[in-house]
Structures are given as C-alpha cells and as structure tokens.
C-alpha cells in the first residue's frame, strides 16, 4: 500500500478523536515518536510552551529536544524562503493556521521545510494545544522559472514514456498486419497489407529513435534511414538483391524525419518487388550524405526501370501524399530519373536551414 503524503498524514492525525486528551498520554507520545512526520506540540495554558518534540522534528529543525522543551516558539529558528515573505517561522506558527509556508532553517539539513500549524481544542471547544508539523521540501523550485523547468522536465518524462508505449504498440500492429496479410488469398490485398505494415514499421522505428535519444525533439536522419532500410530488406529478403548503404549523421526535426522515412520505405519496397523482375538480382543503394549546404538522400537501383511515360509517385496514391508532406514540411526538392532498362533514381535535397533541428 502506498504511504500517504505528509499533508494527508497531518490531516488524519488532527482528525483523531479526543486528540487533546491523547496528547497528555505517554503511550500516544510514544506513537508520535515513531511517525515519519516531524511533530512538535505546545500547551496553550497557562502560557504557551513547547511540551513535546519527536525525533523527526529534531532532525528537520536542527535543534535538540532539550533546547526546545518548555520554551516559547520563538526559540525555533527559521525564516520564510520566499523573497517576498519576511516572516520568521515562530511568528508564522503563532499567527497562521494550516499550511503556513516554506521556511529555511539556519544551520540545518535540509535547508528548506514546509510547515503547518493547527490549534487543537478539547471536548468543550477550548483551545488547548498547538500542533506544528514540518516536512522536507524536496526539489523545491526557487522561482517561476525553476518551477517551469521542473514542469517541463516532468512533461518530457511522460512524453518519453508515451513514445515508448506507442513504439511497442506499433511494432505489435505491424506484426499482426503481416500475419493477417499472409493468410489472405488475394495477392493484391496481400500487397496492400504488406505496404501498410511497412509504413507502420517505419513509424515504430522513428518512435524508437526518439525514446533512445537525449530527450530533445530531434532524430539522426542517417541512423534512422539505415534502420528503415534494414527493416525493409529483412521483411522482403530476396536472394541476389544487395543493399549499398552509405549514411552520414545529421540531426533533423521530427516533421522532417517522419515523411523522409516513409518515402525511403516506399522506394526501397518498390525496388525489391518490381525492379528486378525477370532478373537474378541487382543492387539497391541508399545514400544519405551531408555537406555545407545541407543533406542529399538518394535511393536508386540498377533494375529494369519504369515503362515509357510512367512516373513516380503516382497521383492519388499514398506515396504521393507522403512526398507532398516531405516537400511542405521540410521544403525538400525531389529529383526523379527512370528510363526503361536503366533503373530508377530518386534524389531528395534538404537545405540545412530548412531541415536541420534547432
């Protein structure tokens, strides 16, 4: 069972029936000694004096029980942590109720504590005791900027976890689609399933790259495209077809990497399935090389090429939509060359200023 938070434990303690009477019991004080909450109690009449301090309160306040017992709250050192708050801890205890703020304790570890102060009444409603609780202020943000940075870090951790789960789910979907496709009798439908699985797998690889990264929203394009190529070759392995791979490292934003990976997946899949029909095999190349101007991604094969008048991508097909996304998001320029019997070559040009991750 998860342990309740400090505020919850304090509230539960304050709601204990007949607490005013219990505080006079040695047995109840022994119970408080073992609480993982810093507790101190003062008796309000005839004059307010500290009558109980547990060991956790000694640790957080930095003051021994012998220095506090029978004394006024002003004996307790500490001042408000916030620059706009000039209260001493002892004044806040006497003047405020419930959560009274964060305070820095002089010569104490930890340096900052959260503090609560509550009046305990007897069965007749007469104020009898004051209960003060301290809690270590862990990872406290020192100002709006620090708090914002903490929140961003927490959101980033959640995003990484989400990306990891999405990647795992996409891998499972890919496997299920391939399994279902193999069981279908219609070859055209099988091909459609196969292409869908390849696209989803490319996205899964992208999310894996994000999960394994440094926490920044960028992807190494060369590494990512080499993983896409490896996945395509593994999924559609054919004897006699080899891959010529050459990639440089180049960090790009997510909206560049995603359509680039999908385009490369389409081109490699097309080459494996159609470029070497009637031949014993051939070579497919994937080059991702950089220079001062930017990056050039080239996918080519030495296969049979396209028929006279045929172009790539075919309008209305998914590949055309993916190419349009790449052009719009990364301002990429695409060159296409294919002649019958001379293979196919597609070159994607990225200008450094348009595509490189910030």
More confident residue, 320 or 203: 320
Do 226 and 210 belong to one domain? no
Helix spans in the chain (H): 6-14, 19-22, 26-33, 55-61, 65-68, 89-95, 144-182, 187-211, 221-235, 254-270, 318-330, 352-355
Distance of alpha carbon 201 from alpha carbon 234, whole angstroms: 12
Identify the band that residue 68 occupies on the pLDDT scale cut at 50, 70 and 90: very high
CATH number of the domain enclosing 299: 3.30.565.10
Q: Summarize the confidence of residues 150-161 as an average pLDDT.
A: 60
- Dihedral of CA 346/309/316/192: which sign? negative
Same domain, 223 and 350: yes
| pLDDT at residue 151, rounded to an integer | 62
Q: Which of 348, 332, 234, 337 is nearest to 288 (CA)?
A: 348
pLDDT of 238 above 60: yes
228 domain residue, yes or no: yes
Mean local confidence (pLDDT), 164-188:
54
Q: Report which of residues 257 and 29 the model is more confident about.
A: 257
Paired sense of beta strands 241-247 and 98-104, if any: unpaired
Last residue of a domain, which of 215, 234, 251?
A: 215
Task: Answer for the pair 336, 296: CB distance below 8 angstroms, yes or no.
Answer: no
**Token pair belonging to 153:** 């870090």
Q: Do 20 and 72 belong to one domain?
A: yes
Taking residue 226's Cβ as centre, other Cβ atoms within 10 Å add up to 19
343 and 238 in one domain?
Answer: yes
Task: Looking at the structure, tell me whether residues 273 and 334 fall in a common domain.
Answer: yes
Predicted TM-score (pTM) above 0.85 = no
Q: Confirm whether 1 is domain-assigned.
A: no
For tokens 């003062």, the residue is 42
Residues 115 and 150 in one domain: no
**HSE toward the beta carbon, residue 328, CA cutoff 13 A:** 6
Do 285 and 203 reside in the same domain of the chain? no
**3-state DSSP assignment of residue 188:** helix
Assess whether pLDDT exceeds 90 at residue 287: yes
CA distance 314 to 80: 69
Q: Are residues 226 and 198 located together in one domain of the fold? A: no
Split at pLDDT 50, 70, 90, the class of 14 is very low
Cα atoms in the 13 Å half-sphere on the side-chain side of 223: 14
| 139 within 8 A of 126, measured Cβ to Cβ | no
Task: Tell me whether residue 77 is in a domain.
Answer: yes
* Model confidence band, residue 245 (pLDDT cutoffs 50, 70, 90): very high
pLDDT in tens, 315-338: 877 778 888 888 887 789 999 898
CATH number assigned to the domain comprising residue 13? 3.30.450.20
Of 186, 215, 244, which residue is a domain's last?
A: 215
Cα separations (Å) of 136 from 84, 115, 217, 353, 355? 21, 9, 34, 48, 47
- Domain region containing 285: 218-358
* 58 and 73 assigned to the same domain: yes
Higher-confidence residue: 22 or 123?
A: 123
pLDDT of residue 135: 84
pLDDT, tens digit, 9 for 90 and up, residues 135-154: 887 554 455 565 666 666 66
User: Which pLDDT score, from 0 to 100, does residue 1 have?
Assistant: 39
- How many independent structural domains does the chain possess? 3
Greater model confidence, 136 or 6? 136
Highest mean pLDDT among 103-117, 134-148, 239-253: 239-253
| Confidence bin at 301 (pLDDT 50/70/90) | very high
Question: CA torsion sign, 260 to 266 to 270 to 272?
Answer: positive
**82-105: pLDDT as tens digits:** 878 889 999 999 887 788 888 888
Verify that 33 and 119 share a domain, yes or no.
yes
Decide: 125 and 110 in contact? Cβ < 8 Å: no
Residue 60 lies in a domain: yes
310 inside domain: yes
In the predicted structure, residue 345 carries a pLDDT above the cut 80? yes
Which range, of 57-61, 79-83, 300-304, averages the lowest pLDDT? 79-83
Question: Between residues 270 and 166, which one has the greater pLDDT?
Answer: 270
Mean pLDDT, all residues of the chain: 77
- Residues 341, 223 within the same domain: yes
Q: What is the pLDDT of residues 31-50, one digit of tens each?
A: 666 666 788 888 888 889 99
- Is the pLDDT assigned to residue 207 strictly greater than 80? no
Which one of 189, 215, 241 terminates a domain?
215
Nearest partner of 44 among 20, 17, 19, judged by Cα: 20
Are 124 and 180 in the same domain?
A: no
Higher pLDDT, 108 or 126: 126
- What is the per-residue pLDDT for 324? 87
pLDDT at 179: 55
Q: pLDDT band for position 221 (50/70/90)?
A: very high
292 belongs to a structural domain: yes
């Amino acid at each position: 069972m998860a342990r309740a938070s400090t505020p919850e434990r304090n509230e539960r303690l304050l709601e204990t029936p007949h607490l005013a009477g219990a505080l006079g019991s040695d047995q109840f004080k022994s119970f408080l000694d073992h609480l993982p909450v810093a507790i101190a109690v003062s008796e309000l009449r005839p004059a307010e004096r500290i009558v109980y301090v547990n060991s956790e309160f000694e640790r957080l306040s930095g003051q021994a029980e012998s220095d506090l017992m029978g004394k006024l709250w002003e004996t307790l050192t500490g001042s408000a942590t916030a620059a706009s708050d000039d209260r001493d801890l002892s004044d806040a205890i006497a003047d405020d109720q419930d959560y009274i703020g964060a305070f820095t304790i002089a010569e104490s570890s930890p340096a900052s504590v959260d503090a609560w102060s509550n009046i305990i009444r007897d069965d007749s409603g007469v104020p009898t005791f004051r209960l003060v609780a301290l809690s270590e202020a862990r990872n406290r943000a020192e100002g709006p900027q620090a708090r914002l940075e903490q929140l961003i870090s927490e959101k980033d951790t959640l995003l990484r976890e989400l990306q990891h789960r999405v990647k795992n789910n996409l891998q499972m979907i890919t496997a299920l689609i391939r399994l279902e496709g193999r069981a279908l009798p219609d070859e055209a439908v099988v091909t459609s399933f196969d292409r869908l699985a390849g696209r989803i797998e490319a996205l899964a690889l992208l999310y894996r790259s994000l999960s394994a990264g440094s926490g920044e929203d960028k992807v190494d394009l060369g590494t990512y495209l080499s993983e896409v190529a490896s996945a395509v070759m593994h999924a559609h392995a054919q004897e006699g077809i080899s891959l010529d791979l050459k990639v440089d490292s180049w960090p790009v934003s997510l909206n560049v990497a995603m359509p680039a990976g999908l385009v490369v997946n389409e081109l490699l899949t097309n080459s494996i399935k159609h470029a070497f029909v009637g031949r014993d095999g051939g070579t497919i190349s994937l080059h991702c090389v950089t220079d001062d101007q930017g990056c050039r991604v080239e996918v080519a094969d030495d296969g049979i090429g396209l028929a006279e008048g045929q172009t790539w991508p075919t309008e209305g097909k998914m590949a055309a939509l993916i190419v349009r996304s790449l052009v719009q998001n990364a301002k990429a320029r695409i060159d296409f060359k294919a002649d019958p019997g001379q293979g196919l070559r597609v070159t994607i040009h990225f200008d450094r200023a348009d595509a490189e991750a910030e």
